[in-house]
Amino acid sequence: MATRVSAAARCIALLLLLALAGSSSAQLSTSFYSSSCPGLYGAVKSVVKSAIAREKRMGASILRLFFHDCFVQGCDASLLLDDTASFQGEKMAKPNNGSVRGFEVMDAIKSAVEKACPGVVSCADILAIAARDSVVILDCKLGAHTIGLARCTNFRAHIYNETNIDGAFARTRQSGCPSTSGTGDNNLAPLDLQTPTVFENNYYKNLVGKKGLLHSDQELFNGGATDAQVQSYVSSQSTFFTDFVTGMIKMGDITPLTGSNGEIRKNCRRIN
């Protein structure tokens, strides 16, 4: 019980409020909306909880939205923008098109937040809070690839052509992923075979057993410098929890728009 409570406490620390538009000091603060939008967290959590209840995979999808947004020009919710005749954004880029998802959930969250406090909360902050809530709702056991699914096109080469993979595991994955490119490309498989919708350290145990689904996953445990780190997470789930929270906070601090930079969009899909 103590481990579960402490993990939950660390998850709550993921209040990554990134934009702070309208703040002259332009400093990040987890209490920025305490007075301007006191109903913010309840509004976000209600929508996220309903979305995950309908489809547990959505928790991983929202977390992935946050990751993909932050690693391209910083945490600015630019990934949520639709393309227009005069604007080509990130949403339809090759790594994202047909892969990242959860945009309708973000629309619903934005709508709920706007009803609670119109024109106050940025889309970047909404996405960060939604990612935090996804982790908390999924029992707060942390790990980026411990949940979610991958497309056949992204792991085909690993299960057919590479040797650093358990044979039985490869055959299991081959049953749903034909060897021919263009056939079954969008077929899905869980990144963590045992517990695909729960945050915990089974993902790392799988790597030690050469059961990483993606090439990039198995490279974390393949005779290199990161082997020891993987082993430490296998031995201590609490170490994994702590390091993941630290990593999430650092990622959330990637060039956020503060002060008068950026805008609070009325609709996260387009600029005002």
6 assigned ligand-binding residue: no
Q: What is d(CA 126, CA 193) in angstroms, rounded to the nearest whole number?
A: 30
Q: What is d(CA 272, CA 265) in angstroms, rounded to the nearest whole number?
A: 6
74 assigned ligand-binding residue: yes
Quick one: three-class SS letters along 120-143?
Answer: CCCHHHHHHHHHHHHHHHCCCCCC
- Calculate Rg over the CA atoms of the chain: 19
246 assigned ligand-binding residue: no
227 assigned ligand-binding residue: no
- Are 199 and 191 in contact by the 8 Å Cβ rule? The answer is no
76 assigned ligand-binding residue: yes
195 assigned ligand-binding residue: yes
146 assigned ligand-binding residue: yes
Catalytic residue among 68, 91, 101, 215, which? Answer: 68
Q: Is 158 a catalytic residue?
A: no
**Which of 214, 247, 31 shows the shortest CA–CA distance to 135?**
247
Buried b (16+ CB within 10 A) or exposed e, 154-181: bbbebbeeeeebeeebbeebeeebeeee
Q: Which residues are annotated as a binding site for Ca(2+)?
A: 69, 72, 74, 76, 78, 90, 146, 192, 195
Q: Which residues are annotated as a binding site for heme b?
A: 145
Q: Which residues are annotated as a binding site?
A: 69, 72, 74, 76, 78, 90, 145-146, 192, 195
Active site residues: 68
